[in-house]
């Protein structure tokens, strides 16, 4: 498997070359309604990616006291704005705002995050993992996949994607017994871990020789460093690092979804 950072750099160069051929540049707007440090880092990373591929990135930062009605109005404006190809509403949102209502209010054709259940795009993290595995010739068909975590943004979409690739897919969650957990994990050729617990997965299991682990977890510890859901030294064929692993693939997917969105909107 190719090193993720190197893989992402090459893919971004390819996207940049494509954007270079366009007279009208793809435009993505990010709406941020928080002062969250991690969110600010994600937003800056996304804006940097857009700049690197030659697309237009714009940040709309709103006051955290905004009402749901006011935010819905901003979204309505972006849905209708012909100059905007795609936009995302950065999570989390302030407590007075219902995140599900907001996710569902984004026009599915502009929803490059894939958060709206009606979105025509794959959710960015799952798409990033899929594209990376495909480009690295991972053999999906007939193999066992285990996903730890059943969130709407990672675990569940990942399940459907891998099922469509003809894998035998099992989702494990907090209520899975240790006995079953051991059984499924030790039979898996692919493990996607998205639970948000530092170093949860370690070498207490006997992994298959061909096992590939994609670590989605991002856990900021009191030392302010980022840690994955897995220890960095799993006895597996390949594991994605944290940081500079799935996070980079997620950001890459956002640019890929933006290009897809642009092509659809401009009938290319
Ligand atoms: P989430 O909403 O935080 O939910 C956690 C999930 O993990 C729940 O489904 C929970 O099960 C399950 N879980 C908890 N302990 C478990 C255990 N011991 N074994 C199996 N499952 C367990 O999930 P999320 O939003 O997908 O986030 C998960 C992690 O991924 C976080 O660290 C987040 O920061 C990170 N993340 C990273 C990216 C990226 O781009 N790299 C993108 C999104 C999220 P129950 O449903 O039973 O409670």
pLDDT value, residue 94? 97
* Residue 48, helix vs strand vs coil: helix
pLDDT value, residue 115? 87
Mutate to test the pocket of ligand 1, among 113, 151, 157 (most ligand atoms within 8 A of CB): 151
Tokens of 92: 């989390």
Mean residue pLDDT of the chain comes to: 96
Distance 221 CA to ligand 1 centre (A): 16
Which residue's alpha carbon is at the smallest distance from atom 47 of ligand 1? Answer: 174
Instruction: State if residue 15 touches ligand 1 by the CB under 6 angstroms criterion.
Output: no
Residue 219: phi and psi, rounded to 5, are: -125, 120
Tokens of 261: 């969105």
Integer Cα distance of 57 and 19 in angstroms:
13
Residue 239: phi and psi, rounded to 5, are: -135, 145
Integer Cα distance of 39 and 60 in angstroms:
13
Instruction: State if residue 147 touches ligand 1 by the CB under 6 angstroms criterion.
Output: no
pLDDT tens per residue, range 143-157: 999 999 999 889 999
- Cα 185 to its chain centre, rounded Å, is 23
pLDDT band at 224 (very low <50, low <70, confident <90, very high): confident
Distance 55 CA to ligand 1 centre (A): 31
Integer Cα distance of 140 and 228 in angstroms:
24
Distance 198 CA to ligand 1 centre (A): 11
pLDDT value, residue 205? 98
Q: Give the end-to-end CA distance of the chain in Å, rounded to a whole number.
A: 32
């Amino acid at each position: 498997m190719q090193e993720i950072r190197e893989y992402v750099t090459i893919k971004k160069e390819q996207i940049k070359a494509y954007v270079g051929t366009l007279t009208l540049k793809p435009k993505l707007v990010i709406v941020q309604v928080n002062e969250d440090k991690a969110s600010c880092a994600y937003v800056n990373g996304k804006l940097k990616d857009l700049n690197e591929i030659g697309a237009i990135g714009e940040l709309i930062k709103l006051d955290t006291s905004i009402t749901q009605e006011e935010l819905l109005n901003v979204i309505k404006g972006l849905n209708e704005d012909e100059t905007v190809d795609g936009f995302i509403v950065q999570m989390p949102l302030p407590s007075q705002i219902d995140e599900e209502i907001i996710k569902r209010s984004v026009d599915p054709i502009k929803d490059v995050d894939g958060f709206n259940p009606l979105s025509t795009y794959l959710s960015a993290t799952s798409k990033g993992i899929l594209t990376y595995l495909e480009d690295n010739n991972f053999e999906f068909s007939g193999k066992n996949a285990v996903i730890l975590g059943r969130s709407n943004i990672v675990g569940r979409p990942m399940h459907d994607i891998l099922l469509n690739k003809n894998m035998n897919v099992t989702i494990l969650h907090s209520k899975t017994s240790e006995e079953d957990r051991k059984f499924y994990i030790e039979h898996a050729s692919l493990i996607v871990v998205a639970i948000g617990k530092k170093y949860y997965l370690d070498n207490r299991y006997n992994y298959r020789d061909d096992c590939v682990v994609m670590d989605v977890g991002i856990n900021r510890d009191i030392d302010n460093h980022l840690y994955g859901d897995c220890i960095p030294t799993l006895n597996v064929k390949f594991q994605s690092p944290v940081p500079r692993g799935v996070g980079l693939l997620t950001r890459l997917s956002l640019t890929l979804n933006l290009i897809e969105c642009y092509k659809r909107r401009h009938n290319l």
